[in-house]
Amino acid sequence: MKITTPLTDDVIEKLHAGDAVEITGTIYVGRDAAHKRMIAALDAGEDLPFDPKGQIIYYMGPSPARPGRPIGSAGPTTSYRMDPYTPRMLEVGLKGMIGKGNRGSEVREALKKYKAVYFAAIGGAAALIADSIKEAEVIAYEDLGAEALRKLRVEDFPAIVVNDMYGGDAYEQGKAKYRVEGQ
> Which amino acid is it at 43?
D
- How many residues touch another protein (CB under 8 A)? 48
* Residue 123 interacts with another protein (CB under 8 A): yes or no: yes
Residue 107 in 3-state DSSP?
helix
CA 62 to chain centre: 14
Residues between 125 and 154 that touch another protein (CB under 8 A): 125-128, 130-131, 144-147
Tell which residue, 80, 77, 28, has the closest CA to residue 57: 28
Q: How far is the CB of 76 from another protein (least distance, A)?
A: 9
**Cα–Cα distance between 181 and 183 in angstroms, integer?**
6
Provide the Cα torsion 32, 23, 120, 41; round to 10°.
Answer: 20
Which residue in the set 16, 26, 63, 151 belongs to the binding site for another protein (CB under 8 A)?
63
Phi, psi of 56, rounded to the nearest 5 degrees? -115, 135
Which residue in the set 49, 93, 104, 174 belongs to the binding site for another protein (CB under 8 A)?
174
- Cβ proximity to another protein: between 52 and 149 the closer is 149
Residue 13 in 3-state DSSP?
helix
Span near another protein by CB under 8 A; candidates 50-58, 84-92, 110-118, 119-127: 119-127
Residue 16 in 3-state DSSP?
coil
Which residue in the set 42, 73, 93, 104 belongs to the binding site for another protein (CB under 8 A)?
73
User: Which residue ranges make up the site for another protein (CB under 8 A)?
Assistant: 18, 33, 60-66, 69, 72-75, 77-78, 80, 100-102, 120, 122-128, 130-131, 144-147, 158, 160, 170-171, 173-180, 182-183
